[in-house]
Amino acid sequence: MNYTQLTTAIKGFAENDFPATVGSFTSAEQIARFVQLAEQRIYNMVQLPAIRKNVTGTMTSGNRFLATPSDWLSTFSLAVINAANETSYLLNKDVNFIRESYPDTDAAFYAKPEYYAVFDDNTFILGPTPDANYATELHYFYYPTSIVTAGTTWLGTNFDSALLYGSLLEAALFMKSDADTMTMYKARYDDAMAELKQLGDGKNRQDAYRSGQVRYPVR
C-alpha cells in the first residue's frame, strides 16, 4: 500500500474526508499527522531487521563519548575493531556503572573500551576511556523516512494493516469516535502488531529465537 492508497483507505474506513475548517489543518495535513503518529508508535514498539543499519566510525583517544547517528533509534550492537580486523563487542551497561567504574580523571586507567551506555539522545559513554583511536562498528535501528514523504516504504508494502489501523486509531481519537469503533480499531491494530513483533523477534523463521548478537557470561 502506497501513501495515496493509504490516504484513500483512511478516508473510506473513517467515512470522513477530514475537511479543513477555519484555523485548522488542511485535510492532507490532518491525515499526514495520523499516519506519522502511527509510524512513530510502531517503530518505537518493534525492532525490525528492515529498519537496521550498519555504520563505522572512530573512538578517539582520551574521549569517553561517541556520537550517535542523527537517525539513531536504538542499538543492536556496538563493537571495537582492532588492527588485525578482530571484532570485540561492547556490553551495554548503565551510565552510572561506567561513570563510577571508569572515572575520566587518570589517563593511566585508559584502555580499550569494554562497555557502553546511552548517555543522551546524541551520545554514548564508553568505559574505559579509549587509550588510543579505535575503529568502531555500530549496528542500530533507525527511523525510516515517513511514507508521507517517501510515498512507499517497507512497512506500507509488507505490513500495511499495522499502518492502516494505527492511523485509524489516531483518526478516531481526533474525531472522538464512539467506544465500539475505538475497540474495533484497537483489536485490529493489536493483531497486526502481534504479527509484526513475531517478525521482529525472528520467531516466524526456522532459526527461531536467534538475535544474532554475541552472548557473554554475566560478570
- For residue 122, what are the domain limits? 52-142
* Single pTM value for the model: 0.73
- Whether residue 87 lies inside any domain: the answer is yes
96 shares a domain with 76: yes
157 shares a domain with 188: yes
Q: Which of 86, 92, 52 is nearest to 72 (CA)?
A: 52
Distance between CA atoms of residues 60 and 192, nearest Å:
44
- Whether residue 214 lies inside any domain: the answer is no
For the chain, the straight-line distance linking the first and the last C-alpha, in angstroms and rounded, comes to 47
91 shares a domain with 34: no
176 CB-near residues (< 8 Å, 6+ apart): none
88 shares a domain with 14: no
Portion of the chain with pLDDT greater than 70, in percent: 89
Q: What pLDDT digit, counting tens, does each position of 31-66 carry?
A: 999 999 999 999 888 888 888 999 999 999 999 999
pLDDT at 178 over 60: yes
- Whether residue 127 lies inside any domain: the answer is yes
DSSP string, 61-107: TT--EEEPPTTEEEEEEEEEE-TT--EEEPEE--HHHHHHHS-TT-G
27 shares a domain with 86: no
156 shares a domain with 137: no
- Whether residue 40 lies inside any domain: the answer is yes
137 shares a domain with 95: yes
150 shares a domain with 138: no
**Which H/E stretch holds residue 158?**
helix 154-158
